Amino acid sequence: MSCSGGLRPEDIVNLEAYPIADPDAPPSAASARAAPARDALVERLRSELDSNQYCVLPAFMQRAAREQAVAEAMAARHMAHHIRDRRNCYLQRDLDPSLPEDHPRNLLFETSSRMIAYDLIPADSPLKTLYHWAATRRLVADIVGAEALYGNADPYQPANMLCFEDGDRSSWHFDSGNAFTVTLMLQAPEAGGAFEMVPNARSDRDPNHDYLRTVLQGERPQDIVEVAREPGSLCIFRGCNSLHRVSPVAGGVLRVMGVLVYETEPGVVGDPEVNETVYGPRVAITG
């Protein structure tokens, strides 16, 4: 762990483009001046998220902070857990013989990525400082329309780094559990690694199996949206009904994505069995 003293939130977030005043700070003339710009920003991003199922905040993180976070990922890289699986879009690995072979439930695809858990990231990492800053949490809450958001209380989950080496990819899937997902692109790969989405591929009422089958079998390229992002971009998306994937990464540069996990209630921790599959055998609870 570093003892150099970490960057302050003001040095991490690009406050010129994103005037997000700290809600815990006493009101000041500067925060009063910034309020209308913040309100307009929130309004725009909120409506983008509602219509597209994602919104992007380019250049959200400042360059020096991002470079520090990438250096931390490189230092922890050898401890990352390599997740390699064949899975369906519901994140299951087993087949259901009672359903047709081409039912989405039975279409398994290769997925491969590397997860650096929260506890492997230095305490003063800019990623953690950004994650724990009340202004970030408030901004995300306002954009997703949550009354309040809380940090995740798991030892491994709150903020982590999802990495893709040459050949890694994430197959089509829905995120389970959380109504929205927040990612922060820290480093782009040389090639590949595109974040692709089929917005509203299903709904809470309609599992849309026939349509999903056509997407999964590559028959609906026209429905795929590529979410363009630069290093430093924050992305908020609703991944529970919008199918998404990361295309295969190519080249020697690691694709590094910060993942920020916020909850609508305090004290949320992960399921130990799920944690073991995501973060590896070292997190298994024994005895």
Ligand X SMILES: O=C(O)CCC(=O)C(=O)O
Instruction: Identify residue 118 by its one-letter amino acid code.
Output: Y
| 258 is an interface residue for Fe ion by CB under 5 A | no
Task: Please list every residue from 224 through 243 that binds ligand X, using CB under 6 A.
Answer: 239
Sheet-wide strand order for 181-187: 54-57, 234-237, 181-187, 255-260, 159-164, 109-116, 81-87
Quickly list H helices, the chain: 9-12, 29-52, 63-76, 126-132, 134-144, 209-216, 272-279
Binding of Fe ion by 175 (CB under 5 A): yes
In the bound complex, what is the minimum distance in angstroms from residue 39's beta carbon to ligand X? Answer: 28
Find the helix packing angle between 134-144 and 29-52, rounded to 10°. Answer: 40
**Sequence letter at residue 214:** T
Task: Provide, rounded to whole angstroms, the least separation between the CB of residue 12 and ligand X.
Answer: 20
* 256 contacts 127 by C-beta, under 8 angstroms: no
Q: Are strands 54-57 and 159-164 parallel, antiparallel or unpaired?
A: unpaired
Contact between 111 and ligand X per CB under 6 A: no
Complex with ligand X: residue 125 or 242, whichever CB lies closer: 242
Residue 183 binds what, of Fe ion, ligand X, none (CB under 5 to 8 Å, by partner type)?
Answer: ligand X
Q: Which of 257, 260, 261, 283 contacts ligand X by CB under 6 A? A: 257
What the block records as the tokens of 35 is 């309020």
How far is Cα of residue 268 from the mean position of the Cα atoms in its chain?
A: 17
Show the site string, 225-244: x = touches Fe ion by CB under 5 A, - = not. --------------x-----
Nearer of residues 144 and 162 to ligand X, judged by Cβ: 162
Q: Which is nearer to ligand X, 113 or 129 (CB)?
A: 113
Can you tell me which residue has the tokens 């609508």?
Answer: 264
175 scored as a contact of ligand X (CB under 6 A): yes
Q: Which of ligand X, Fe ion, none is residue 246 near (CB under 5 to 8 Å by kind)?
A: ligand X
Q: In the structure encoding, which two tokens stand for residue 125, read together?
A: 């990492």
What is the rounded CA–CA span in Å between residue 126 and residue 123?
9
Which 134-173 positions form the footprint of ligand X (CB under 6 A)? 162, 170
Query: What is the contact surface with Fe ion in residues (CB under 5 A)?
Result: 175, 239
Query: What is the contact surface with ligand X in residues (CB under 6 A)?
Result: 162, 170, 175, 181, 183, 195, 239, 244, 246, 257, 259
